[in-house]
Structure 1
Amino acid sequence: MNNKIYEQYLREKDIYTIFGEKIKILVKDLMDINGINYQSITYRTKDEKSLLNKLERKKYKYKDLKEITDISGIRIITYYSDSVDKVAKIISEQFEVDTENTIDKRKALDPDRFGYLSLHYVVSLKNNRLNLPEYNMFKDLKLEIQIRSISQHTWAEIEHDLGYKSEIGVPKGIRRDFYRLAGLLELVDKEFIEIRDKLESYKKDLEIKIREDKEDVLIDEVSLTLYIDFSKNIKKLNEKIYESINGTFISTSDLIESTVKELKWIGFQTIKDIDIEIEKNKEGIYNLAKNILKDSESKQISTEVSLLYLCYYKLCESDSIDKLNKFIKENGFEPNYDFSKKLISIYKEFKK
């Protein structure tokens, strides 16, 4: 073992840890600026045991700690495999890449062998960043950046847990199972990309239909989200409700699923159905929402508020507390007789 390198590691471990933390923050900012969706970005500093094992395995290779390029490490996990190259492009533009130690395991892997397709960059900071006070302490430090998709990461983690790093170590009878699994995970990556692209295409088509003709647009989470985003009727009604209670609106995409369920429970089938009722009953919906929400402690209102009170308004037309309570129960809340009675009372007062 090289005691000199180990002692150097103990002295400089803290600076490598700070280096990793700083680069993690920088990489996150770069991903956000470039609109890259990622599952996670993590960092680690190589621990003593791992370093000692490496020095033992490669006892004649290293003469200085700075020659070991993975003391600090960042791992970027993307949702899709085609995002790996997009991330790689950003990394290569923003950092000084050590091409000698950078490995694209996707190219190194033979098509008839199992493994995970990961990209490993070894980088250092460019001079323009090293000249900044917050980075100048990291001169000559290198860091490994691993980029992989969730599926590729799944393979790597399971492979690590099984303890087999190469084909040689795998019993022949089990090797075929590895091949099959590797192929399945690669297929999963491709299928997710196809689904994503189809959804994006569906959204673009829907956006045009919702802007021009809502007649044939069925209600689902995608179409309803776009309708809320682009409908002038919804926007005006929401703003009027917010102003009446001096509230603020919050975007709550997690409520879209339940709102779709509520609208379908009432009997709405298309976006056009909703739009007609909003236009026809906007004053009544506003009156109902204003008189209920004015007594609410919270002044944060979701962007789906107009649609919820459209449902309440249509139920009040039936003059049935039981029906209102059933609607409330069906959508996961405890039925409240007094609340339902109040809704109908406000509705009747408005209709006089």
Structure 2
Amino acid sequence: MTEQEFLKRWEQEKPVYQAWADFIKYTIEQTLKTSIAPTQLDYFLKVPVKPRLKLDSTLVDKAFYRKQYANPYDDVTDKVGMRFVVLLTSDIKKVCQIIEAPENKLFWDASKDRDYEAERLEKPLEFSYQSVHFVLRATKGNKFSGIEILENTSCEVQIRTLLQHAHSELTHDTLYKPKTVAQPGVKRTVAKSMALIEATDEFFEQAMQDIAKAIKPQNDILDLLKDRYQANIHQNVGEEPSNQLLVDTYFELLPENPIADISAFLDKVGYIYPKIKQYREIRHIFSQPAILLIYYLASHSPARTVEMWPLDRDDLNLVFSDLGIKLPD
């Protein structure tokens, strides 16, 4: 195949490769939304995912000059690609699980082109570039945005942490300069940066585990309040930071077994639900599940609830009025 033949075929198939990459992005992101909540996707992905086609000149350079391929067109697997950048190595695994999920084998054959964990085990004393690379090849019968995806169309998907991404951006221009990278000073500096990245990632993971353990009691309460709100008031439940603010503010007032006590209280005061439905359209805090906690607290610790109240007093007036309790001075 000549360069001209290569580029002619590439020009014809660019829309197919773009549609294939768009389909992969859509599939992975939709699955992530169901597992981490739709509103949290932008937080989970630290860099927007943008499928990119290789430039014609870059593709020719790789296919005919930088490497020797028996079949240049089919053997270049990254004619289109994208990367998922996340915070922690444990987040990398979440994306990998989606790619390798049995149900997605209907759409693609996934081969792991590179795996930083496997490399680290194989070379424990070497600190080198880290990332997970998959090549996803389309199975027969895929179609997206009105475009038929040719069987075996490939797309490279990279998954890295934010620190790995920073390292990659720093060293990318040297990847094709082996003499530069081979210099002892350069190798030592790059190795030190990778060692620091690995250590920092381990600290991040431990910090996240410690934080998750510390806030579990508050999150358990919020989960209960959210379930009750959706079951009795509205499916569209607010998840703004004011929920955590209220739970944190009043956590010290709660009994030893708050889940059972709050549940029992909410079972007895079903009459408050229609009132909250009315207020939620005009008072923001009544669209948040934590408002149910305030009804509980107003009933059990009215004076302290007023004393510690961090928001608009008018909202608290409504809560006390609904319960038939006089608002303490």
TM bucket by the smaller chain?
0.5 to 0.7
| Structure 2: runs of 5+ lacking an equivalent | none
Distance (Å, rounded) in 2 between the aligned partners of 1:183 and 1:303: 44
Q: Alpha-carbon deviation of 1:71?
A: 0.7
The answer (yes or no) to whether the contact 2:85–2:160 under 8 Å persists in 1 is yes
Q: Alpha-carbon deviation of 1:343?
A: 5.3
* Partner of residue 263, structure 1: 250
Cα distance, 1:227–1:9 mapped onto 2, change above 3 Å: same
Aligned partner of 1:225 among 219, 222, 226 = 219
Q: Alpha-carbon deviation of 1:21?
A: 0.9
Would you say 1:297 and 2:281 are equivalent positions? Answer: yes
The answer (yes or no) to whether the contact 2:298–2:320 under 8 Å persists in 1 is no
**Pairwise CA RMSD:** 4.7
Write the letter of the residue equivalent to 2:321: I
Instruction: Kindly report which structure 2 residues correspond to 1:1-352, keeping only aligned pairs within 5 A, or say none.
Output: 2-29=3-30, 39=45, 41-55=49-63, 57-58=65-66, 61=69, 64-82=72-90, 84=92, 87-88=95-96, 91=99, 94=105, 95-97=108-110, 102-104=113-115, 107=118, 110-126=123-139, 130-131=140-141, 137-160=149-172, 163-165=173-175, 168-170=179-181, 172-173=184-185, 175-196=187-208, 202=213, 221-230=215-224, 242=233, 250-252=237-239, 254-263=241-250, 268=253, 270-272=255-257, 294=278, 297-298=281-282, 301-311=287-297, 317=303, 327=308, 331=310, 333=311, 339=314, 342=317, 346=321, 350=325
Cα distance, 1:5–1:345 mapped onto 2, change above 3 Å: closer
Q: Alpha-carbon deviation of 1:271?
A: 4.8
Q: Which has the larger radius of gyration?
A: 1
| Structure 1: runs of 5+ lacking an equivalent | 203-219
Cα distance, 1:122–1:65 mapped onto 2, change above 3 Å: same
Write the letter of the residue equivalent to 2:27: L
Report the secondary structure of 2:15's partner residue: helix
The answer (yes or no) to whether the contact 1:227–1:271 under 8 Å persists in 2 is no
TM-score by length of 2: 0.67
Cα distance, 1:241–1:315 mapped onto 2, change above 3 Å: farther
Q: Alpha-carbon deviation of 1:183?
A: 1.0
Report the secondary structure of 1:261's partner residue: helix
Note the alpha carbon deviations across 1:173-232, whole angstroms, 9 max, x for none. Answer: 4543332221121123333444455666x4xxxxxxxxxxxxxxxxx742122134348x
Report the secondary structure of 1:252's partner residue: coil
Q: Alpha-carbon deviation of 1:278?
A: 8.4
The answer (yes or no) to whether the contact 2:218–2:248 under 8 Å persists in 1 is no
Report the secondary structure of 1:303's partner residue: coil
Distance (Å, rounded) in 2 between the aligned partners of 1:24 and 1:151: 22
The answer (yes or no) to whether the contact 1:251–1:303 under 8 Å persists in 2 is yes
Q: Alpha-carbon deviation of 1:262?
A: 2.8
Report the secondary structure of 1:187's partner residue: helix
The answer (yes or no) to whether the contact 1:167–1:175 under 8 Å persists in 2 is no
